[in-house]
Structure 1
Amino acid sequence: MLSQKTRYAIRAMQHLADCHGQGPVQLAEIAEKQNIPVKFLTVILSELTRFGLVESQRGRDGGYWLALSPIDITYGDLIRIMRGSLALVPCASRFAHEKCKNCVEEGECRTRALMLDVRDHTARLLDSRRLSDRIEPVPAFTDEDFSAS
């Protein structure tokens, strides 16, 4: 699962993409509209600034804005920056690979093979979706969605 920090970063970046070209967006606006604690949002936006995805300006007329066009930022890039990897297990990561402890040899592990496939499909999807893409919300699940048929 994505960490809360990563989910907040995605929502903040979506907000900045929605406001792209309209000038700086104040921290308080992002925090309020996206329901993100201000202190946590400050840390997230600072990190995104260090990675070159966000720019900021201090002062009364200051705020935050995307450093790149929303079409140039993929969800895959954003999640990799915040999470470090798209893989569900360390042995399936392409950029942060680690051998799993207490496992069979990588070349013999069917779980790793499955997780590589999951990682590759996830990467294709997230790398093809950009902050500029319109993503429509879907209705919330109901109790009927979870009942056995």
Structure 2
Amino acid sequence: MLSQKTRYAIRAMQHLADHFGEGPVQLAAIADTQNIPAKFLTVILSELTRAGLVESQRGRDGGYWLAIPPVDITYGDLIRHMRGSLALVPCASRYAHEKCKNCLEEGECRTRALLLDVRDRTAQILDGIRLSDPIMPVPAFIGDEA
């Protein structure tokens, strides 16, 4: 699952994408609209600034804005910046690979093979969706429909 920090980062970036080209967006406006604690949002936006995805300006007329157009930012890029990887286990990561402790040899592990496929398919989907792409909310799940 995605961490709360990553989910907040996605919502903050969606908010900035919605206001792209309009000038700085104040932190309080993002925090209030997206229901993100302001102190946590400050940390997240600082990380995104260091990653080159967001720029900021201090002062009364300051705020945050996307450093690059939303069409040039994919959800895969954003999640990798926040999480380090799209993989569910370290041995299936393409960019942050680590051997799993207490596991089979990688060449013999069918779980790793499965999760590599999941990681690749997830990357294909997330790398194909940009912050500029419209994403409409869907109704909440009701009950346990199977």
TM-score, length-scaled by structure 2: 0.99
Matched, 1:80 2:80: yes
Secondary structure at the residue paired with 1:103?
coil
Q: Give deviations 1:4-60, integer Å, cap 9, x for gaps.
A: 000000000000000001110000000000000000000000000000000000011
Q: Distance in 2 between matches of 1:47 and 1:91?
A: 25
Secondary structure at the residue paired with 1:128?
coil
Segments of 4+ in structure 1 off by > 4 A? none
Q: Distance in 1 between matches of 2:121 and 2:145?
A: 29
Q: Distance in 2 between matches of 1:48 and 1:135?
A: 22
Secondary structure at the residue paired with 2:124?
helix
Q: CA RMSD in A?
A: 0.7
Partner of 1:96: 96
Secondary structure at the residue paired with 1:125?
helix
Aligned residues: 146
Identical residues among aligned pairs (%): 82
Give 1:147 deviation, angstroms: 4.5
Runs of 5+ consecutive residues of structure 1 not aligned to the other structure: none
Secondary structure at the residue paired with 2:127?
helix
TM-score, length-scaled by structure 1: 0.97
Amino acid at match of 1:64: Y
Give 1:130 deviation, angstroms: 0.3
Give 1:138 deviation, angstroms: 0.4
Matched, 1:132 2:132: yes
Secondary structure at the residue paired with 1:64?
strand
